[in-house]
Amino acid sequence: MAEQTAAPSNAPAPTQQQAPAQQQQAARDANLTKLADAGLIEARRTAISNDPAFWGGKDVAKTRALRAEMSAITQGRPYIPEKPEQRVPTIAERFQKAADDRAAAAKKAETDRVATLPNFEKRRLEITRALTDKNSKLSDQDRTALTNELRRIVAGQLTPEEHQQIVDAPVSELREAIGFTPDKVLPSLRDQWDEHSESEVLASFLHAGASPEAARKVMDWFVDTFNRHGGDVGNADYDALEGEFRTMATPAGLSKAHVNALVKYERERMVG
């Protein structure tokens, strides 16, 4: 009997490229089997079924992903999540992002700049922001205190030339700067009123950055004291006057250093 030969098969022989793919599929199948044996697939199926988003809702993307995962579990194949679509920003969004980036860069640059400033300048900026903040809840007392502090900071940065201009200014200009006039000096004592000393005291207010309100209160006290002693303050009890002055000047808004400087000036002038 003639030897029968096997009919040729139409299936192509495995190639080197197909072998790795078959191995990968076999590995996935084995992994699914392990997961199934461990009950993990069934647990995941239950979790998906219990998720309201699986049955629909506003989160369309989540619903689609859960249903795709359930389909993969049902068909016994690995679930590969869909890659989210890359949305191209609109022109308006790109312009807005560029503007936001510029604003953020400017803010950082300002923060870095402020960090290099001396402490008095940092404090000046801090006070200025507090005083100009439309939503500020500062009390009138706090606002006055900050304003006075700001004046002192600004005065402290005057150049020697600017200080000299104050010293050389006529008394009329110094009076105008704080809004003071010696009209309350008694007519009979006006020829004894010392305009030179007045000029030096008025200049001290500008040097120290005192508020015009505080300066006027102090000058009114000087005028009243001058009138009470008939223009002859040199024979007054200076210790008592000093205590009276300190009690008045600090609440009026002068700094402690300025009060001390005026006390020293007047004591040297009147007592020697």
DSSP secondary structure letters along 204-230: HHHHHT--HHHHHHHHHHHHHHHHHTT
| Global confidence as pTM | 0.51
The pLDDT-based confidence of 27 (bands split at 50, 70, 90) is low
Alpha helices in 134-237, H assignment, sequence order: 140-155, 160-168, 171-178, 195-208, 212-228
Question: What is the rounded distance in angstroms from the CA atom of residue 102 to the CA atom of residue 4?
Answer: 85
The pLDDT-based confidence of 45 (bands split at 50, 70, 90) is confident
Instruction: Give the pair of three-digit tokens for residue 53.
Output: 């988003």
The pLDDT-based confidence of 11 (bands split at 50, 70, 90) is very low
- Quick check: 201 pLDDT over 80? yes
Give percent of the chain with pLDDT exceeding 70: 81
From residue 89, give the alpha-carbon distance in Å to each of 1, 11, 94, 103. Answer: 80, 50, 6, 20
- Quick check: 14 pLDDT over 70? no
pLDDT tens by residue, 236-264: 888 899 999 999 998 888 888 889 999 98
